[in-house]
Every structure is written in C-alpha cells, then in structure tokens.
Structure 1
C-alpha cells in the first residue's frame, strides 16, 4: 500500500507539498499540483482519514443524537440525515440518549475528541450553556433548544387543533388526550392545541388529560385510567402515533370497538400507523423532509461558519384512516 512518502518521491516534491495538495490548505503551483495528483492516481494512494482529520481538525463526520431509538419516528428521521450526509461525503453517527442529559453531554464530549464536525440534536434536557463551547455547529431537530440554535420543527399546535376538530366534526361528544412528557416543548404545544379546542366545553375536565410519556406502555396505562374515570369518552387524541398504538391496545383489552364506539387520532405519521388494525388516523409530519433540512443546514454551516440560519417550521397534514368514523345521526 502506497504511503504519502511514496507519492512525494514519485512526484519529486516534499511530503509537505503532497499534504497541502491533499488537504487543499494552501495554494500550490498548478504544475506541481498536477504532478502530485498524477502520482496519487498512479500509485492508487488513499489518504489516511484519521491523519487528515487530526491535521485539519475536521473529520467529515456528523452526529445525530435522539432520545429513543425504539420510537419509529426517530429512525425515519435518521434515514433522511444519513442520506444527506452520504451525498455530501460525510460519515454519519447515530446516538441514542434515552433522554438523559448525562448521556447527551457524554456523547458530545467523546465525539468532539474525535473531531466530529457538527451535531443534530433532539433533546428536551440540554440548554444553550451545554453546547455553546463545543466550537462546532449544532442544529436542533423536532424540539427547540434556544433562540441562538437553529431548529427544524413542525406546527404542533395547529396540528393538534386539526386532530381534535376532526373528532368533533365526526360527532365525538367527550374527547380525551394522552399527552407526551411535560418537559418536552412539542408535547406541550400539542396538549395546548387540544385545550384550545375543548377547554370551553362543559364536558371537559382536567382529568381527561393523561400523560403517556411518548411511550406505548405508558399510553396503554393512561388509556385504562381514562376508561375507568370517564367510561363515556368517545374520542381520543394521542400526542404521537406510538401512544395511539398503546391506546388501541388498551381499548381492545377493554372490549371497546374502534372506531365504532371510540375514535382515535395520533400525531407523526410514522409507517407503523398504517400497519395496525385499524390503521391510525393521524397528523402527518413531513418526517423525511425535516430530517433532510436539518442535515443540509448543519453541513452548510460546517462548510461556511458565517452562514446565517433561521428556524424552519413545516406545516403538517391530516391523514384520515380507519381509527376514526363519523357517528350516525
């Protein structure tokens, strides 16, 4: 296997000149540069990426940190980030934080030591003070960290209002909500959207909101509590599709027919929602598009640190499937 010294000898130049050509750090005489490139091609020389990253203090590597890789929403996001990274000749690293600040900060520390060029972060625990000294670009995805950190999100409040209004329009009279974590801003926005629509109805009670923590099992338990406390509810808005699946499980165990007796709407539009029985009516996020946008923003910032970036918010679309049904009469 050829070395950089072999290339220098073949081209009749110094090792330092070969390094400058490879790393594109300084202007090199065109004739000399061509000799080096010809020698690289003839010897089939492959630069050492590790050595280059140490020399340039760049690795052509970006990282995506997500809170829960078992939630199908995040692998769908990750696929988009990976595709953009590959097209831009970047290596992509996926990290699962379990929504732990300690793990998130540990990942960042370790990856910075490996010269990672930037981070895309889905977090509800990190603040600006945790990332301001990383000295690499950071883009927030799905959730906003700070106004100083560019973010890619969707209109959660309007999406939630659309979901609840649909339940009202098909004739639901008492609608409950299974919410996400209280410390996650998109979960709070979706809950607020629900409250904006129903809080003025006489039938509404605060207990009709139960926390499912964005997980299937917790959502199943929340649905059981709702059925026990409010046996006459006929509509449920779950803050994400995974919790909608948990609600379906609880309703099946309780002998409730969906959608004949109770209608269910989720949020996200993950592929899992198409595979359940019944398939889940949902507020669909452009998941691939927002992951793609975040990756492009990050790579643009890496390539040009002076780039000014603003938050990007996408609209959502309503997708009616089998878990909702118009009430007769």
Structure 2
C-alpha cells in the first residue's frame, strides 16, 4: 500500500514521529517491558487508522513487550521521506532492532541499507523490497495465492459472465500489482467476463468510494467490482449503495478486516481474502528477537510467504480481527 513530500515538510514528519514515539514508549513501559533483553525495538508501520495496519501494530507491540523489549512506534503513511526520517531516528536512538512495513518496494531499499550499515537488524512485515541480503527476514502474505482464491470465488458468484471494474492499490507497493496479476490470471480464463474500467484507490476507503463513483458514471450497468483491498471494496460498496445498485453488483475484497467480514455476512460482499497479518507479525518479532540475541533469525529463508484464506459467507463467522478460529 509512494508519495514524496517537499523538504519543507520534514519538520512535520519529525513532529509526527516524535509524537507517536513518545506515546509508544509510554505503552511499552506501562506493560512492564524491561531492558534486560537488549533495549528498544522500533516499530515503523504505515497507517494505524487502517484496521489492517492497526492489527499489525497491536500484534507487534504485544509481541515486543512479551519478548522483554521496550518499543517505539511511528507511521510513515507510505511516504519514503517520512520513513527515512524515522529510520534515522531509530539509528540515532541506537535501537536493538526494527520491525518495518516498508513504504515502497524500490523506495525503501536505501532505508533498509542505512539500518544494515548501522548494524541494526531489520525484519520487514507485510510488504517486501526489491532486494535480498539486507533485511534479516521479509515476511509477507502469499498475495498471488490469495488473489487466485478470491478471483475464483468471485467469478463463480458472477456466473462467469458480465462486466466488471477494478480498484487498484498503491502502485509503489508490490502487493498491489501481485494481487491484480493474480486476479487477471484467473479471470482471463473466462472470456464472458469483461473488464471495462479501473482506477487507483491507494488502499483507502474514501478514495475507493470516490473512484467507484467515477467508474459508475462511465459504466452505470457494471456487474462486478474487484478490489485490491477491503478498504477500497468497502468504499465501492458505499458508492453502490448510494446509487441504489449494490444488489446488482458483486464485490470482492482482500485483507479480511472485520468490517469486510461483516459485509460478507450481510451478503454485501461476495468474499474477502484473509491475510495472516497477526501470524506474520508474530513471526517477524520472534525472528528479530532471535537475531538480536544470536545473530540469526532461525528461519531457513529470508523471504517467507504465508498462505491466505478465503473468507466466504460460511467462513466469515469464524474470523475475528484477522484471526481465523481453529476448526
């Protein structure tokens, strides 16, 4: 889920980082974290106002505290300049390690390199960078597998025919293209399913609604919507409701956030695809802690992909805050 800001906004970025860091340190102390395990771990995420990244943050804070570290928290909002400032702050603070959800696959390589040069181990979670050999680990969802699951379920709900539009995620995030390609790989097999439009919704619900309204104005009789994440899909649902067209349009999401799960239960969304962000973040913290202690993560591979789960109407009651109940 990249947008460079003017240098004049650097102080704003510093202010955001400082404010979040102060809050996060207080949380770490209040939960009884100690310095015996080796100090502080910096958690650098994207945007905790999005439920997906909030789950990432909540899990990271909990697992870091369990491991015996304090934590700082900052959010770059997919801005590489802000990310760079936060990485520099972590280096100046001499943190023991960093959990990073990167702001762009190419744009984040330099930031990760800075941490490596400072001899600070870093584990990437949720998104990857276009280079190996720097991060201790890169733990992501198996986006291609998840997109295949979602596209097959949605195509079936469409009866393998009709017109559809696509809402794409942030172009700088590799996940956006991987999911779109995964959808295409399935849907291209059905010649009676015709894509008639697409817009970039940048992973955002409000932007997803606005882009869906624009698509509807050009394609009022569209039959389906595929979205790169749940927030954009939920925005599309809002637009369709306002236009009185939701009953005629099949919507697919991706993430498995709780609002989407409830939409699946209500029949407003055909399905979502549950990303194992809680599992992935738990693994990320464990591997970072092991690296801090021993110099090795304990994993056999740097890049690790975790399979996704289709959240259909039958599965939805078993999902709670990105966790699928056993059985």
- CA deviation after TM superposition for structure 1 residue 176, in Å: 2.3
Matches within 5 A, 1:25-64: 60-64=39-43
Structure 1, residues 200-253: CA drift from partner, whole Å, max 9, x if none? 554566652221110111111221232233333222121111111101111011
Describe the superposition over 1:75-105 as per-residue Cα deviations: whole angstroms up to 9, x where unpaired: 1011211221111111122211011111111
Q: Indicate which of 56, 60, 81 corresponds to 1:102.
A: 81
Matched residue SS, 1:165: helix
Where does residue 73 of structure 1 map in the other structure?
A: 52
Q: CA deviation at 1:110?
A: 1.4
Tell whether 2:116 aligns with 1:132. Answer: yes
Q: Aligned to 1:270, which of 257, 274, 286?
A: 257
Q: Measured at CA, do residues 250 and 292 of structure 1 come closer, stay the same or move farther in structure 2, by a change above 3 Å?
A: same
Which whole-Å CA distance do the structure 2 matches of 1:132 and 1:105 have between them?
A: 14
Contact 2:287-2:298 within 8 A present in 1 as well: no
Question: In terms of Rg, which structure is larger?
Answer: 1
TM-score (norm 1): 0.74
- 2:214 matches 1:225: yes
Q: Which runs of no fewer than 5 residues in structure 2 stay unpaired?
A: 1-33, 317-327
Q: SS at 2:171's partner residue?
A: coil
Change (3 A) 1:130 1:100: farther
Q: Output the aligned Cα RMSD.
A: 2.5
- Identify unmatched segments of 5+ residues in structure 1: 1-51, 325-329
| Residue matched to 2:132 | 147
Deviation at 1:289, TM superposition (A): 0.6
Asked if 1 retains the 8 angstrom alpha-carbon contact of 2:165 and 2:195, the reply is no
Secondary structure at the aligned position of 1:95 is classed as strand
- TM-score using structure 2 length: 0.75
Distance 1:306 1:84 in 2: 18
Aligned to 1:233, what secondary structure does the other structure show? coil
- What is the aligned residue count? 267
